[in-house]
Amino acid sequence: MRIRHFLLGSVFLAGCAKDVTKDIEDLADRACACADKKDVACGEAVVTDLVKLAQANKNAKGDESKAAAAARRMGDCLLKTGMDPQKLATELQKAN
């Protein structure tokens, strides 16, 4: 899915910098809490924080399989909030 590709490509994980795995998992948890409430604004705030995380950690490292699982969960939950998939993709492009 295109949205998942953006999520995975936005934050990943090479080089010798901060381990962002826990940060991605925390953002996924927040996104899912937003989905439970069907709160689009809450989901948009998560995306904003994800973009900031990605921009601040261009050479991030971490557990790729855990981060990928969290990113997939986050993407699914963000879409469940009611976010427009195109808007989500556009916002995630800012992370690059």
pLDDT digits (tens, 9 = 90+) for 60-89: 778 889 988 999 999 999 999 999 999 999
Three-state DSSP at 19 gives: strand
Distances (CA, A) of 1 to 6, 36, 53, 75, 76: 9, 22, 22, 10, 10
Mean pLDDT of 31-55: 96
Q: Is the pTM of this model over 0.75?
A: yes
Start-to-end CA span in the chain (Å): 18
What pLDDT sits at residue 5? 47
